A and B are shown apart, each in its own frame.
Chain A
Amino acid sequence: MTIEQIVNATELTVKVAGRLDTTTAPELETFLKQSIEGVEKLILDFSELEYLSSAGLRILLTTQKAMNKQGEMIIKNINETINEIFEVTGFIDILTVE
């Protein structure tokens, strides 16, 4: 999994590529915890995310909760399978997906 970030004042775009699973989730978690300080708009670009498991979902949840306090979090460019996962787990309602 690779993480790319683009900072634009208070807007942070994080591009996650590869697999987000039990082994890689902790890394993203750590990263996000450190990076969202002062961020008002967090954009998660999942255009190159191949795989998402429940471990990843949990991180999205905690991050969403945190961003709700300081701004907003948007998830972009998800593929069909991930969309399915969001729907089946009900996360589609919790997350903001574009």
Chain B
Amino acid sequence: MITIRHLKKEYANATPLKDVNVEIHKGDVISVIGPSGTGKSTLIRCINLLETPTSGEIFVDGECITDKKCNINKVRQKMGMVFQSFNLFNHMNVIENIMAAPMDLLKKSKQEAYDYGIELLRTVGLADKAFNYPDQLSGGQKQRVAIVRALAMEPEIILLDEPTSALDPTMVGEVQAVIRDLARKGLTLMIVTHEMRFAREIANRVFYMDEGGVYEDGTPEEIFDNPKKEKTIRFIKHLKVFEHLITSKDFDFIGFNTDLEEFGRRNQVAPKTIYRAQSVFEELAVQCVLPKLDKDFKLNVAFEYSQEEETLFMTLKYDGDTFDVRNTPNVISFAIAENASESIEYAEIDEDGFKNLVTVKIK
């Protein structure tokens, strides 16, 4: 139904979408997840052209909507949108909000618009609020009305941009119920959300957005239970990452340690574990690996912490000759490092210029 090809969106100081290529089929319920700032909202706002793509093409039912000649208003009428901040029309009451577009744009009669509107309101349980004004409603009620407003236009797809993010936790449920209902009815939905459980529950497809595009795309089981790619994993596992690229032997060791401590504190890593991490880093990276590297080197240190499993991993990636750190002559250091780790593994890799990979699970 919707095909997106090489979609790029560039701003003056950021490019949230570099190259997006996806297909959306009728009946899909797609959850769009990912860290903040990765273009999730940008993507769905490009679909209904609230944002104008810098380049790329979007086809809706075969029609290229990014074309200048396209009547975007007509296209939009086929797509509904639900906003994080509801955006109900403040100068109209609820039923007017719902009736406005069908009457103005679809030229429906007042009676028709009213009947359909009231019916929809009933399905979300707000028929009695038909004559209230938006500022008299709670957040959850407003959002439900917003959904009805979108439905009243009988759209082919509804785009929901973080529909529950602005809601009180007590009201999140009622809105999710409505969305769930829509999904069950077979409507095509695309939802940007932070609610992982909900995202997993209703979707048949999940887009994990990262690195300027759809980084990984799969079924909920695939993405949530078996994420394949690194960043997906990190995200899913709620991995907290502390990463640093060292390119000089005079790097700021003290600063690194301080930052590492800070990272640990922020993520509530056990103090002993932080200690050990520092120790492992100093012994392996500084004492063992660093001396072995040439003048121009790259040494990437990454700490990944999983709050759920409470495990801290350190990975070292370095270039230069292949050197298995486990074979280091610096036995003292290695001994100390080994003592502080549960496991130290080495692998040869060829990734971004790195030749060596050391993975340590910190005690």
Contacts and interface: CB of A to CB of B under 8 A. Distances in A.
A adjacent to B, CB under 8 Å: yes
Interface of A: 21-23, 51, 53-55, 57-58, 81, 84-85, 88-90
User: What 8 A-B pairs are tightest by C-beta distance, nearest first?
Assistant: A54-B333, A88-B339, A54-B332, A89-B335, A53-B282, A88-B335, A89-B332, A23-B253
B188 interface: no
Contacts of A22: 253, 282, 286-287
Interface in B299-341: 330-333, 335-336, 338-339
Contact of A88 (B254, B275, B336): B336
B338 A54 contact: no
B275 A53 contact: no
Nearest to A21: B282
Name the interface size band of chain B: 10 to 19
Contacts of B164: none
A78 to B, nearest CB: 14
Interface in B226-285: 253-254, 272, 275, 278-279, 282-283
Chain A facing B: main interface SS = helix
B314 to A, nearest CB: 15
A58 B332 contact: yes
A81 B279 CA distance: 11
Nearest to B333: A54
Given A21-B282, A23-B253, A51-B279, A85 B336 contact: yes
Contacts of A58: 332
Most buried by B among A23, A54, A58: A54
Given A23-B254, A85-B339, A57 B332 contact: yes
B330 A54 contact: yes
Contact of A53 (B254, B272, B279): B279
Given A22-B253, A22-B286, A22-B287, A51 B336 contact: no
